[in-house]
A and B are shown apart, each in its own frame.
Chain A
Amino acid sequence: MIVEDEIMLQDVYKLVLETEGYTVTIADNGREALDILATTQPDVILLDMLMPVMDGQQFMNTIDPDFPKSTKIIVYSNLSDSAVEAEVLELGAKRFILKSSMTPTDLIAMVESV
């Protein structure tokens, strides 16, 4: 599941991941993501931080900490705040990566390593 509000980015990441053979679901924000989680269980969640309605941080705070360990969360954001990075990692995120320096290749590599 890709949780991202920017449509342009939704498209490009979906393209890259589907080309690699992954099934991709898209949520426009944290709230939608929660709704989707009620019915499906993705292997990986790509979580953006800055979104309307419910942002990434709120999402992390809302989901059950005992959320299935099988679902790995990768937070990717343009926020270069190391305080936020530390916090999300504490909240259970597996990885934190900076959007603007991430290439599709990096994305694939990360999804595979997780």
Chain B
Amino acid sequence: MSDSKLVLEYGRLFRALPHPYIAFATDDPLFTIVEENDAHGAIAFSNPADTVGKPVFEVFPDTTEKYRLTGESDLVESFRRVIATGKPDIMPLYKYDVQNEDGEFVERWWRVSHYPVFDEAGSLSIICQSTEDITELRLTEQKLEQTSSQLESALEIGLVSTWSWDIASDVVVGDANLARSFGVTPEAAAKGLPLKIFTDSIHPDDQKRVLNAIQKSIKHGAPYEEEYRAINKHNDTRWMIARGKSQLDTVSGNTYFLGVNVDITERKEVESELKQSKTMFDALFESTILSVAMADLNGKVLQANKTFLKTFGYSQQDLRKGITSLNVTSTKSRGVTNKIYDTLRLAREVQPIEKEYVTKDGTTIPMLVGAAMLPGSDDTFMAFMLDISENKELKALNAAKDEFIGMASHQLRTPATVVKQYLSLLQTGYGGELSDEQLLYIEKANNSNERQLKIINDLLKTAQIDSNRFILKKQTITASKLVSQAVNELADLTATRMQQVVVDNNAGDDTVYVDVTELNLILVNLIENASKYSPANTTITIQLSRKGHAIAISISDEGVGIDQAYIKHIFQKFTRVDNELSDTVSGTGLGLYWVEQITKLHGGTIEVLSKIGKGSTFIVCLPRED
């Protein structure tokens, strides 16, 4: 090939090279572009046909920050270095934004290498630039840097430190957090320190354990996890949890122990406080005096202390299988229990109240129970129960007293009955004819004797009720019939006193399941009172109505009324109310006591509303039969 042809061939070769090249002349400061290959043109958005022969800064103006600020150009510096040293010069990271076809400037990063090209005389004639577009790489690097710094912040916030221990050379490299925790400078930590520096800062009580654990982990290749205290240079103790694992670096052949430490000092403090309050709670819960239980509003017992289980005779297994409020509530206490739950729902706490509980084997225990909803919960509560059957001595005394009354009354009855018989004999003439005066005296004696017998019967009945030996013989009857029977019985009394009895039945044919004899006595008692405590020409109103699951029978009079001071004692034994008519009204003082007791035995309630001078209303509620 001829010289010129060869030149042309090499020229074509240069231009077609896949790697970007651009060659400059050494004419400082122009640095004329001698040649640019197509590859370079592509990345620089330039056209070699136009660029050749032009000074570099005409084609590629220096738009770098440095040039703008200082007027100095890194590119020119690089050229000058090559000319001065005759050696290659590399600019590993050169930012130069280029203009694309649309005229927009796009961010570009370059790795620029300048090579000297000598002529036959040995002098530097051309600077050849190999250009690498490292924009992608740079952006990735930037992202990595960002992520890395974010991670560092996160680690810092989370008080997490990372470290790596080169076992063979005993060099621990750690981050700033680690440095802080162990009281060394971040620089020293970054450079690397022997393990001992760190382990010496571990609390003496924990040191041995930690060192053993590390050795064990290396030996068995198993993960390492230990909690220990580190004392930093301010003598503060920080609690750490360290987790690590030994790892063989296949490249270097070294074994590293890599780990992460988390500062858990705060957590430990909270734990300790929690432990304290838990200790207090446990003391209460494990009390041998109180039965404590946690339950939900459906009555399911969720947790119970040992005393509870022991008191009621249940095992832990029973608790797991399920114990409910119903299991421990005696039938007598169903009402109280409902009241407790209702109060919990409404007021979130229940003041101590007496309730009869029942054990697994059916024994009843009187207890004092208090309860409160758990804070923030609408459904779970704690209850405590105190066994108050230590009062059984008192109860026993009471029982003995009741029995005595019962026995004494029984004994009294016979002689009283005998007196009655003889008086009757006298009256009917068995002892001979008597004068009017004698008959009068006998009649008075007879009245008194009747009174005696009545009192004795009353006492006996009371004793029976009190000792729970009173048996009800129940049957179904319409409420209205109960009322009409009582009204009829007292027809003579009310007629004599010129009082009107009005019955207002809004309960239709509703029935009740009651001891008819007893209920009759109750209604007679109440209507009789209404009559006796009211003046002539007044009305007694009896109303029957439905009230939920009950029938309410109210007896209202327009009589003297009852003073508020007496009202709360009115159902107690032997209470006689002082009012203008009380002297004329006979009674034992036990009437209303039974009325309430027997009503309660039927599962009913009685209440009284009254106003002095206006009258009284007694309301008896009995469960409706349905």
Binding site for B on A (CB under 8 A): 6, 8-9, 12-13, 15-16, 19, 78, 81-83, 99-101, 103-105
A99's contact among B417, B422, B471, by CB below 8 Å, is which?
B417
Selected interface stretch from B170-178, B181-189, B399-407, B424-432: B424-432
Contact at A104–B424, with CB atoms within 8 Å?
yes
Which 3 pairs from chain A and chain B are nearest by CB?
A103-B424, A12-B421, A8-B418
> B234 contacts the other chain (Cβ, under 8 Å)?
no
Contact at B414–A104, with CB atoms within 8 Å?
no
> B473 contacts the other chain (Cβ, under 8 Å)?
yes
A19's contact among B414, B418, B422, B430, by CB below 8 Å, is which?
B430
- Give the CA-CA distance A103 to B413 in the complex, in Å: 14
Interface residue SS majority, chain B: helix
Distance from B595 Cβ to chain A, minimum over Cβ atoms (Å)? 18
- Residues in B neighbouring A83, C-beta threshold 8 A: 471, 473
Distance from B116 Cβ to chain A, minimum over Cβ atoms (Å)? 133
Q: How many A-B residue pairs have CB under 8 A?
A: 47
> B276 contacts the other chain (Cβ, under 8 Å)?
no
Contact at B473–A12, with CB atoms within 8 Å?
no
Contact at B413–A100, with CB atoms within 8 Å?
yes
Across the interface, name the chain B residue whose C-beta is closest to A8.
Answer: B418
Contact at B421–A13, with CB atoms within 8 Å?
yes
Distance from A29 Cβ to chain B, minimum over Cβ atoms (Å)? 15
> B158 contacts the other chain (Cβ, under 8 Å)?
no
- Give the CA-CA distance A81 to B424 in the complex, in Å: 26
Contact at B417–A9, with CB atoms within 8 Å?
yes
> B602 contacts the other chain (Cβ, under 8 Å)?
no
Contact at B428–A9, with CB atoms within 8 Å?
no
Across the interface, name the chain A residue whose C-beta is closest to B515.
Answer: A82
Contact at A100–B473, with CB atoms within 8 Å?
no
Distance from A114 Cβ to chain B, minimum over Cβ atoms (Å)? 19
Which residues of B in the span 374-433 have a Cβ within 8 Å of any Cβ on A?
410, 413-418, 420-422, 424-425, 428, 430
Given contacts A12-B422, A99-B417, 16 further A-B contacts (CB under 8 A): A6-B418, A8-B414, A9-B414, A9-B417, A9-B418, A12-B425, A15-B425, A78-B413, A82-B473, A82-B517, A100-B416, A100-B453, A103-B424, A104-B421, A104-B428, A105-B424
Interface residue SS majority, chain A: helix
- Residues in A neighbouring B517, C-beta threshold 8 A: 82
Q: How big is chain B's contact interface, by range?
A: 20 to 34
Distance from B284 Cβ to chain A, minimum over Cβ atoms (Å)? 51
Across the interface, name the chain A residue whose C-beta is closest to B460.
Answer: A78
Distance from B360 Cβ to chain A, minimum over Cβ atoms (Å)? 33
- Residues in A neighbouring B420, C-beta threshold 8 A: 100, 103
Binding site for A on B (CB under 8 A): 410, 413-418, 420-422, 424-425, 428, 430, 453, 456-457, 471, 473, 517
- Give the CA-CA distance A6 to B413 in the complex, in Å: 11
- Give the CA-CA distance A99 to B460 in the complex, in Å: 15
Distance from B406 Cβ to chain A, minimum over Cβ atoms (Å)? 13
- Residues in A neighbouring B424, C-beta threshold 8 A: 103-105
Distance from A86 Cβ to chain B, minimum over Cβ atoms (Å)? 9
Across the interface, name the chain A residue whose C-beta is closest to B422.
Answer: A12
- Residues in A neighbouring B428, C-beta threshold 8 A: 104-105
- Give the CA-CA distance A81 to B461 in the complex, in Å: 11
- Give the CA-CA distance A12 to B420 in the complex, in Å: 10
Contact at A16–B414, with CB atoms within 8 Å?
no
Distance from B499 Cβ to chain A, minimum over Cβ atoms (Å)? 28
- Give the CA-CA distance A83 to B473 in the complex, in Å: 8
- Residues in B neighbouring A78, C-beta threshold 8 A: 410, 413, 417
Contact at A6–B421, with CB atoms within 8 Å?
no
Contact at A16–B425, with CB atoms within 8 Å?
yes
Contact at B453–A16, with CB atoms within 8 Å?
no
Distance from B615 Cβ to chain A, minimum over Cβ atoms (Å)? 34
B457's contact among A13, A15, A19, A100, by CB below 8 Å, is which?
A100
- Give the CA-CA distance A103 to B414 in the complex, in Å: 13
Across the interface, name the chain B residue whose C-beta is closest to A83.
Answer: B473
Distance from A5 Cβ to chain B, minimum over Cβ atoms (Å)? 10
Across the interface, name the chain A residue whose C-beta is closest to B425.
Answer: A104
